Every structure is written in structure tokens, then in C-alpha cells.
Amino acid sequence: MILQGLLQDHLHNLNAKIIIAFSLLGAYIAWRFFYAFFLSPLRRVPGPPVAKLTHKWLLFVELAGKRAKTVHGLHAKYGPVVQLSPEEVSFNTSPVINQLYSLHTEFLKAPWYKRITQGGVFNKTNITIHQHQQKMLNHAFSQSSINNIKPIMREQMQKLIKRIKKKHKTKPLISTLPFKSIQGFFTSNNRIYKYGEARFNEYIKQYKRTPQRKDLLTKLIQKETRQKEGLTDTKITSKITQQPKLQEQIRKELSQSLPLLNAVINKALRKHSAVIIGLLQVMPSGRREIKGHFLPRNTVVSIPSTKNIKRLFMPFTKGLRQCLGQAMALFEIRVTVSMIVKRYLLSLDKETKPADMDFVDYFIMLPKGEKCLVNFIPIEKI
């Protein structure tokens, strides 16, 4: 009887604890609902109801590679200002661009950047530290430095042409600009940073610290002071393979000022930018009014896209965070496209379906089919 009584008391206490736990959970959920819809500074910002309660719904969207499409759809439904999470707002309106991305902006890069890579100029959130590191790199990415390494870039393009001649069918190549040889990158068992350290040491051993060879690492090693362009090359290739007349027009103008080639490249950069999601910025101290909404400190804000395609064309972003490698990337794209189109008529291989060239985004945009198989027909055989 005593044992039975103790057991009943234990069950009674357990039931009481469960009731209390569920009551507290219910009270917490009720408070979250009440705060999100009635007290939050962002309560009047349009958006899906779930966005006012949690950011975790975005995690599933991002894991599926659909953030850009999802945010675009939300703007189509709710308008130019959309709440994406309890602390994040997206703006699809051109006047906000200068507020967020100008040279004199008060907005900082969001803490999210610290989680995607180890310390580097790209993900530095502190403006002073970022400017210091950027000054160290500016010389390496100056136009004079780009001119010095143009022979190396053309050399790599010649290797691409030789490979095409052998196979007449290829997948997009990985740029080998920083290092003469990058074979084994994807088959290395080392983590990426250990691999990078090994390749750097290999470069020093082969070329020394004062090499005659002029390339990107020469500048960095001597302290005179990545890979998006490959994705753009892929998109340009997939588009022009479907337009033989466009290829012929580009081929005819290669000895001129290249207005058509530049237009094709700019359209590819506009429609298929390698980084297609909004670049996240965080609200500085105090409150700010943006597009009629007062946003509190530490609110994460971004601009995914805009319809003003000329005045606000900025595939390499702008302001303090403008891409250092812009001139290098544009030269690489121009050389790649011009050298190939000059020699070959391109067509998509039958194994490459239109659905393969749809995109998914994991910060960097990728072809959904992870490939773009192309047939190369030599011009002299046409």
C-alpha cells in the first residue's frame, strides 16, 4: 500500500509538471503571436504571417535552393516591401539602393556573412577593418595588374580551345587564373583551407617570392598590396547556343568595338548574376525610416532585384563593397566568349534539357542540372 501511494504521488507530481510545462509553452507561443502581430516594430510590414513568427521557414526554402524565386514571388504578392523573418525585411525598390549600398552608407554587412567563410575582406562586417584589408588588395586588382596577367588568362583560354579541338564537347572549365595548375582541387581529401595552404606553398616553392611570372598571387605575395565568372560563362554559352544568328553577328564584330558582345554579357550578368539573392545589410544604431516603415536597430535588410535595368545595373554590387575583381572577371568573360564564338558554332547537346539550365541558388547561382553540355562545330567546316 505504501509503494502504491508513493507511485500515485509520483504520477501526480509528474502530471502537474507536464501541465505546467505545457502551460508555459502555450503562454510563450501566445506571447510570440501577440508581440509579432501587435507590438513588433515590423508588425505593419507586409509579408507571409509565418515570417512574423520565425526565420526557420526560410531555412527550408534556402536548403531547396529557392530563396531568390521565393522572395521574388513574395514581392509580386505583397509589394515592394516584404517581411522575411522577425528581424529581416526585403526591399524591391530603387530609391533604397543608395541608402543600403552607397559609399557613405551607415549600414553594415549582416552577421550572417561571418558564418559562410573564414576571415577575409569579403565577409568583414567592421568597415574600418574592411577598408584596411581592401587597400592591401587594391593594387593586385588594379587595371595595370590586370594588363600584366592578360597573357596568362589568354594562355588558359588557349588550353580551353585545344581541349575543345580534341573533344568537340566539353563542360565549363574551372578558371586557373591564380595558380598555373589547379588539378586535383575537387579530388583532394583535405579541407579547402588546408588545400589552399598547400597550393600556396607549392606556388612559393616553384616561383619563389619574387617571380618573373606576373599573375594575381605575385601582387599579393610581394605585398604590393574566386569563382563567379565561370557561372556567367555557362549562362552566356547556354543562351547563345540557341541563337546561331547572334553568334554570327558577334563573330563579325570581333574586330570592332564589340557593342553586341558587351550587350550579351551585360544581359547575362543582369538576368543571371552569379549572386542572385539580396546582399544582407544590418540596420545601424537607432531607428531608420525606409519606404514609409520605421525599422529598429539590428534589422537585416536587402534588395534582391529591380526593374530599372540601366541606371541600377550593378552585378558586381556598388559602394564600399563593390567586387574587387570586376575588371578581371569582365576581361575573362569577354576573352572566353570571343575566342570560342570566333572559332565555333555552338549548339546545346541533346543531353542538356532546358530544365537543366534553370537555376537554384545557394548564395551562388548554379544550373539545376549541374551541367551545360555543348556541341562545338568548327567554323571552317560549315
What's the pLDDT score for residue 46? Answer: 95
Query: Where is pLDDT greater, at 40 or 303?
Result: 40
Query: C-alpha distances in angstroms, 139 versus 135, 136, 316, 325?
Result: 8, 7, 18, 11
**The pLDDT of residue 57 is above 90:** yes
In the predicted model, what is the mean pLDDT of residues 240-261? 78
What's the pLDDT score for residue 186? Answer: 41
CATH number, position 100 = 1.10.630.10
What's the pLDDT score for residue 119? Answer: 61
**The pLDDT of residue 45 is above 90:** yes
Each residue's pLDDT tens digit, 293-322: 888 888 888 887 655 556 667 888 777 777
Handedness of CA 145, 146, 147, 152 (dihedral sign): positive
The identity of residue 309, as a single letter, is: I
Question: Is 181 among the domain residues?
Answer: no
3-state secondary structure (DSSP) of residue 299:
coil
| Domain extent for 58 | 40-168+243-381
Each residue's pLDDT tens digit, 184-204: 444 444 456 666 667 767 766
**The pLDDT of residue 145 is above 80:** no
- The DSSP H or E segment spanning 205 is helix 192-207
Least confident of 52-66, 163-177, 269-283: 163-177
The total number of structural domains that make up the chain: 1
Do the bridges between strand 81-85 and strand 288-290 make them parallel or antiparallel, or are there none, so unpaired?
A: unpaired
In the predicted model, what is the mean pLDDT of residues 142-171? 74
Question: Is 35 among the domain residues?
Answer: no
Question: Is 152 among the domain residues?
Answer: yes
What's the pLDDT score for residue 8? Answer: 64
Question: Is 273 among the domain residues?
Answer: yes
Q: What is the dihedral of CA 300, 297, 113, 97, to 10 degrees?
A: 50
pTM of the predicted model as reported, rounded to 2 decimal places:
0.69
**The pLDDT of residue 272 is above 80:** no
Each residue's pLDDT tens digit, 86-144: 999 999 887 788 788 777 777 888 777 776 666 667 777 777 777 777 777 777 777 77
pLDDT band at 261 (very low <50, low <70, confident <90, very high): confident
What's the pLDDT score for residue 271? Answer: 77
Helices (H), 121-258: 127-138, 143-167, 192-207, 216-221, 229-240, 244-253
**The pLDDT of residue 270 is above 60:** yes
What's the pLDDT score for residue 242? Answer: 80
**The pLDDT of residue 75 is above 90:** yes
**The pLDDT of residue 206 is above 50:** yes
Contact by Cβ (8 Å): 240, 246: yes
End-to-end alpha-carbon separation of the chain, Å?
A: 100
What's the pLDDT score for residue 70? Answer: 93
Question: Is 62 among the domain residues?
Answer: yes
Question: Is 201 among the domain residues?
Answer: no
**The pLDDT of residue 238 is above 50:** yes
- How much is the mean pLDDT over the chain? 75
Q: Kindly report the backbone phi and psi dihedral angles of residue 359, in degrees, each rounded to the nearest multiple of 5, phi listed first.
A: -115, 155
What's the pLDDT score for residue 382? Answer: 58
What's the pLDDT score for residue 167? Answer: 66
Question: Is 105 among the domain residues?
Answer: yes
Question: Is 340 among the domain residues?
Answer: yes
The C-alpha cell that represents 69 in the structure block: 524565386
